Amino acid sequence: MDFIYHITRAVDWEQALQDGEYTVATLGRTLADEGFIHGSHADQVQTVRDTFYRDVPDLVLLVIDPGLVNAPIRYDVVPGQPEPFPHVYGPLNTDAVIEVRPL
C-alpha cells in the first residue's frame, strides 16, 4: 500500500485532534481556500519541504492510510512535476493518520 504524506505545523495537527478533522490545505491556506488538502508520495516529500516549508519551525509529517480516508482522493498532475500528487478533496478524518513524525 502506498501511503500519502502531508507536511504541517504541529500546532495545526494538535488543533485537528481537538476538532476531530484536519482542514489545512497547505501552509497558510485552508481546505475552504484551496478546495483540497495537498499530499505527497514518499519520494515527493523532500521536494515539497524544501520548496514550501524550508524556514518553518515545528513541522510534523502526517502518514495517511488512503484506505481509511473518508473524503475522495484524486491524483492530480501538477505543472512542472513528473508525477501526479495525491490530493484529499474534503476534511481529513484524523483516524486516517496512522503516524505523525517530527520533521
- Cell triple for residue 49? 519541504
Provide the number of structural domains found in the chain: 1
Q: 46-93 pLDDT, tens per residue?
A: 999 999 999 999 999 999 999 999 999 999 998 888 899 999 999 999
Question: What CATH number has the domain bearing residue 90?
Answer: 3.20.170.20
**pLDDT higher than threshold 70 for residue 25:** yes
**pLDDT higher than threshold 70 for residue 23:** yes
Q: Spell out the residues 6+ positions from residue 78 whose beta carbon is closer than 8 angstroms to its own.
A: 84, 85
What number is the average pLDDT over the span 12-33? 95
Residue found under cell 502526517: 62
Q: 2-21 pLDDT, tens per residue?
A: 999 999 999 999 999 999 99
**What pLDDT was estimated at residue 78?**
85
Show the domain range for 33: 4-102
Residues in the chain: 103
**What pLDDT was estimated at residue 80?**
82
Residue found under cell 519520494: 43
**What pLDDT was estimated at residue 1?**
64
What number is the average pLDDT over the span 22-43? 95
**pLDDT higher than threshold 80 for residue 31:** yes
